[in-house]
Structure 1
């Protein structure tokens, strides 16, 4: 009966590893602060690297104590994702590959294994079980870091893509009360949304009465592109600006007719210059060609 109760209260290898990590967290943190993963990120202060290492060790101890060493969804790994994930993402932004980051995470294991092997309170069998458990725990840590790195990398790509869309879709002030968006390249849903948002923001900021969408640089217009243009025109109207579409080339005009798209409610002009002239005329501005006026006077 006593043996049965002792067995029931005996800790699992994972819990033993959790106790070990909690007990040796300061030593482990000090060693990890000198490893490449921590050293390359916390180059200003070693104390910051030690603090980060301590937080990761405590998180791993919590995972082990809960006996969830191979569970990527264990609550304790949230701290690891927050701490090591940011570090790995920083390494990735500085040019490190996912393979290099994986090696840097794997390099954290030897210093911990040495401390665990030095523990003298375990039988050879227990020591082997703890070593296997620690290897599994750090293997899961490696997967968590790689998962977070890939996620951060995708987020970075998405942000850069959005920035490129914004750069590729400038809103230009042509005249007082007149703004224009010269579109170049293919229009998809994401870019059309950026066009609409940028144009509406410019209409408000510039208090524009006219907004010109110049599609001279758009290679093709299909029903989806036409729908995006119509939505942008409608949104600009709601903001109090009249939208003019310019740069409709003959081939695009034929395509629009064949698709049966009705642009009857939209003001169109052949060129950006014609669209600007229309907007200025509507505002009561008069443009005088001094070269022609001078030639006539002579």
Structure 2
């Protein structure tokens, strides 16, 4: 029997026995502890089985990337992305597709028991098709989760680089953790945006929470200072501990034209002096 005959027969059988297939499939999902809202799971399985026969009849089962499989791929993509956001695992997500094998195999064996060649072809077609769809689900899931991780990392970097207005014309940027290339870009953008927003004349960059300062970190700091100056703001670096001071000297980093202070408080006093403000202690 030709491949096209197998395709058409398989499509017709799935459409004819959709209710029974759905019942067995749902049972398989429950047996495998597929975590999902009951209504959502039922809707997804019904949508998938409604689309599957048409896609098989029009596009065959050897290539799910053809346009005939667009709706099926879109549905599986939505399911995978949704489960990635909900914190499911790739295995759990792939179970949605792979658990369909049992119900389809049972139906095919029952209906084609008198036609051994067609039975063998149909079983191979089902296995090949569901393997492709299962791998597609895992691929989309992984991409979705990677996007979520990247977005979370960006959000964490933004949260970890707050620019605080300490006084009129004085900003502070406390840095905590490692300052790599990606984060230094966020630091620079955050500081420059705040300078534009407030018109600040002084920006204090506090590196008390930066564990180590190497050549790369020093270069990032100098670039940030240079960019701030182009925007009309001078920078003061605070949090220079003895170990960091020795490292900077050893690296040969030129900080001669940059004011540095041991603490944020010391830097704040200098900044207030530059903007014409003073602090008086009340001894009363």
CA distance in 1, matches of 2:130, 2:257: 65
Match 1:12 to one of 4, 12, 21:
4
**Matched residue SS, 2:208:** strand
What is residue 132 of structure 1 aligned with on the other side?
A: 124
Unpaired runs of 5+ in structure 1? Answer: 1-6
Matched, 1:289 2:284: no
Instruction: Tell me which moved more, 93-102 or 256-265.
Output: 93-102
What is residue 173 of structure 1 aligned with on the other side?
A: 165
Q: Is the 1:179–1:211 Cα contact (8 Å) retained in structure 2?
A: yes
Q: CA 1:235/1:28 → structure 2, altered by over 3 Å: closer, same or farther?
A: farther
**Matched residue SS, 1:268:** strand
Q: CA 1:19/1:105 → structure 2, altered by over 3 Å: closer, same or farther?
A: closer
1:9-67 Cα offsets, whole Å, 9 max, x none, are x5536643674389569759966788569992684696676446545x268437xx445
Matched, 1:61 2:56: yes
Structure-to-structure mapping, 1:37-56, within 5 angstroms: 40=36, 43=39, 50-51=46-47, 54-55=50-51
Q: Is the 1:184–1:215 Cα contact (8 Å) retained in structure 2?
A: yes
**Matched residue SS, 2:203:** strand
Structure-to-structure mapping, 1:196-215, within 5 angstroms: 196-215=188-207
The offset of 1:162, in angstroms, is: 2.0
CA distance in 1, matches of 2:37, 2:14: 24
CA distance in 2, matches of 1:219, 1:45: 48
Q: Is the 1:41–1:90 Cα contact (8 Å) retained in structure 2?
A: no
**Matched residue SS, 2:256:** coil
Aligned length: 280
Q: CA 1:43/1:289 → structure 2, altered by over 3 Å: closer, same or farther?
A: farther
Q: CA 1:190/1:262 → structure 2, altered by over 3 Å: closer, same or farther?
A: same
Matched, 1:239 2:198: no
CA distance in 1, matches of 2:264, 2:17: 67
Q: Is the 1:60–1:77 Cα contact (8 Å) retained in structure 2?
A: yes
**Matched residue SS, 2:172:** strand
Q: CA 1:195/1:79 → structure 2, altered by over 3 Å: closer, same or farther?
A: farther
**Matched residue SS, 1:288:** coil
CA distance in 2, matches of 1:75, 1:168: 45
CA distance in 1, matches of 2:216, 2:164: 25
Structure-to-structure mapping, 1:1-298, within 5 angstroms: 10-12=2-4, 15-16=7-8, 19-20=11-12, 40=36, 43=39, 50-51=46-47, 54-55=50-51, 57=52, 60-61=55-56, 65-67=58-60, 69=62, 71=63, 73-75=65-67, 79-114=71-106, 116=108, 123-291=115-283, 294=284
Instruction: Tell me which moved more, 29-38 or 194-203.
Output: 29-38
CA distance in 2, matches of 1:107, 1:126: 23
CA distance in 2, matches of 1:228, 1:25: 65
- Structure 2 length-normalised TM: 0.80
CA distance in 2, matches of 1:233, 1:80: 53
CA distance in 2, matches of 1:42, 1:168: 39
